[in-house]
């Protein structure tokens, strides 16, 4: 996530796990202010921390595992630990939002503590999870919305002894989530499917520059081709071919902005073996050619 700037594709490891540290070891909490003006997509990734996102302006789509969610101003998006997620902004109504990323260890207590046993441990072990979307008009929305900004402001301002207030605000946030019935049992079958999809996305992340085939990816999943294709689209919102093209196009954007390589070299570097096809797909996705994109953004 980018702080006080434009949205970018996060750096991830071979399993699409985000590499950047959120906060510090002593205080594993970070707050961000982002938008989708330059990079219209926050591409699929995951992290062990939980994330709360509040949409301040604009419209778009979020993909959380198999669920596609329409986002609008005022929505609060809850991203559970380990969930594969991404965001795409509408091209003419860019998303602006604030987010809070935190490790549940920040709220942990010794074994036997009631809050630890009945809430924190269940969330940390993926036995329970937040519902994904809370919108204006939903039960308890005003309290949850207010607490989001109190947490965000407390962390950003860092007044004396803010870390004590920060922890108390998180507990109040969790309390409002509980009484609003926004914390529910996790889907164990989905957890198994998620592990399989993560493995395939891991492979794509490592080998997107190569000529990948559906057969090759299906064999990794241990599912039939029909079920794998269905599952892949449920989790990513795209066919394998569309996902690969879009993934490569996002990689191309980075090279266009941060290298002096030619358009042909970039096309080959990200896995397209035909420059004309690369230019066509890039223009379809971004409404501008790679050359003009580089010129406009430089």
In percent, how much of the chain has pLDDT > 90?
Answer: 61
Give the domain CATH number at 205.
1.10.10.60
Bridge-based pairing of strands 96-102 and 41-45 is unpaired
Task: State whether 60 and 119 are in the same domain.
Answer: yes
In percent, how much of the chain has pLDDT > 70?
Answer: 89
Mean pLDDT, the chain, as a whole number? Answer: 87
Task: State whether 65 and 148 are in the same domain.
Answer: yes
CB 98, CB 152: distance < 8 Å: yes
User: How far apart, in whole angstroms, are the C-alpha atoms of residue 79 and residue 64?
Assistant: 7
Mean pLDDT check: name the lowest of 3-12, 100-109, 203-212.
3-12
Task: State whether 231 and 158 are in the same domain.
Answer: no
Task: Domain count for the chain, please give it.
Answer: 2
Owning domain of residue 264: 188-297
Q: What is the mean pLDDT of residues 208-217?
A: 92
Task: State whether 180 and 269 are in the same domain.
Answer: no
Task: Give yes or no for residue 125 having a pLDDT over 80.
Answer: yes
- pLDDT of 134-165, one tens digit each? 999 999 999 999 999 999 999 999 999 999 99
In SS3 terms, 223-292 reads as CCHHHHHHHHHHHHCCCHHHHHHHHHHHHHHHHHHHCCCCHHHHHHHCCCCCHHHHHHHHHHHHCCCHHH
Mean pLDDT check: name the lowest of 4-13, 16-25, 26-35, 131-140.
4-13
Q: Is the dihedral of CA 193, 202, 244, 87 positive or negative?
A: positive
CB 99, CB 50: distance < 8 Å: no
CB atoms within 10 A of CB 12: 19
Mean pLDDT check: name the lowest of 33-47, 87-101, 158-172.
33-47
Task: State whether 48 and 165 are in the same domain.
Answer: yes
Task: State whether 222 and 99 are in the same domain.
Answer: no
Cα–chain center distance at 283: 24
Determine, yes or no, domain membership for 11: no
Bridge-based pairing of strands 67-71 and 29-35 is unpaired
Task: Give yes or no for residue 5 having a pLDDT over 70.
Answer: no
Specify which of 53-67, 144-158, 212-226, 242-256 reaches the highest per-range mean pLDDT. 144-158
- pLDDT of 250-293, one tens digit each? 899 999 999 999 999 999 999 999 999 999 999 998 899 999 99
Bridge-based pairing of strands 133-134 and 76-79 is antiparallel
Task: State whether 178 and 206 are in the same domain.
Answer: no
User: How far apart, in whole angstroms, are the C-alpha atoms of residue 19 and residue 42?
Assistant: 15
Q: What is the pLDDT of residue 271?
A: 95
Give the max Cα distance, the chain. 63
User: How far apart, in whole angstroms, are the C-alpha atoms of residue 50 and residue 62?
Assistant: 15
Q: What single-letter DSSP state applies at residue 104? A: G
pTM above 0.95, yes or no: no
Indicate the pLDDT class of residue 7, thresholds 50, 70 and 90: very low
Task: State whether 39 and 178 are in the same domain.
Answer: yes
CB 165, CB 200: distance < 8 Å: no
Task: State whether 34 and 101 are in the same domain.
Answer: yes
Determine, yes or no, domain membership for 97: yes
Task: State whether 212 and 165 are in the same domain.
Answer: no
Indicate the pLDDT class of residue 40, thresholds 50, 70 and 90: low
Task: State whether 148 and 267 are in the same domain.
Answer: no
User: How far apart, in whole angstroms, are the C-alpha atoms of residue 231 and residue 74?
Assistant: 30
Task: State whether 144 and 204 are in the same domain.
Answer: no
Closest residue by Cα to residue 15 from 206, 194, 191: 206
Mean pLDDT check: name the lowest of 11-15, 158-162, 214-218, 267-271.
11-15
């Amino acid at each position: 996530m980018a702080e006080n700037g434009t949205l970018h594709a996060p750096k991830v490891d071979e399993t699409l796990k985000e590499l950047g540290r959120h906060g510090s070891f002593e205080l594993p909490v970070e707050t961000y202010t982002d938008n989708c003006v330059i990079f219209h997509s926050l591409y699929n990734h995951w992290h062990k921390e939980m994330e709360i996102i509040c949409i301040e302006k604009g419209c778009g789509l979020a993909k959380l595992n198999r669920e596609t969610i329409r986002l609008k101003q005022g929505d609060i998006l809850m991203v559970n630990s380990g969930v594969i997620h991404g965001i795409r902004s509408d091209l003419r109504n860019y998303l602006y939002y604030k987010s809070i990323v935190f490790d549940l260890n920040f709220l942990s207590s010794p074994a036997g503590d009631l809050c630890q046993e009945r809430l924190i441990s269940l969330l940390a072990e993926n036995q329970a999870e937040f519902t994904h979307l809370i919108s204006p008009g939903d039960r308890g929305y005003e309290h949850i919305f207010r607490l989001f900004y109190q947490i965000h402001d407390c962390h950003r301002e860092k007044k004396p002894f803010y870390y004590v207030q920060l922890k108390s605000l998180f507990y109040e946030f969790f309390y409002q989530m509980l009484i609003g019935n926004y914390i529910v049992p996790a889907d164990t079958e989905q957890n198994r499917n998620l592990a399989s999809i993560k493995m395939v996305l891991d492979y794509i992340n490592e080998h997107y520059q190569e000529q990948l085939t559906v057969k090759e990816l299906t064999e990794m999943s241990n599912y039939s081709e029909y079920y794998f294709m269905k599952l892949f689209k449920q989790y990513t919102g795209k066919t394998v071919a569309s996902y690969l093209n879009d993934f490569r196009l996002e990689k191309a954007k980075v090279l266009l902005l941060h290298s002096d390589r030619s358009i042909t070299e970039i096309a080959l570097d990200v896995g397209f073996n035909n420059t004309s096809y690369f230019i066509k797909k890039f223009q379809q996705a971004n409404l501008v050619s790679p050359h003009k994109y580089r010129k406009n953004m430089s």
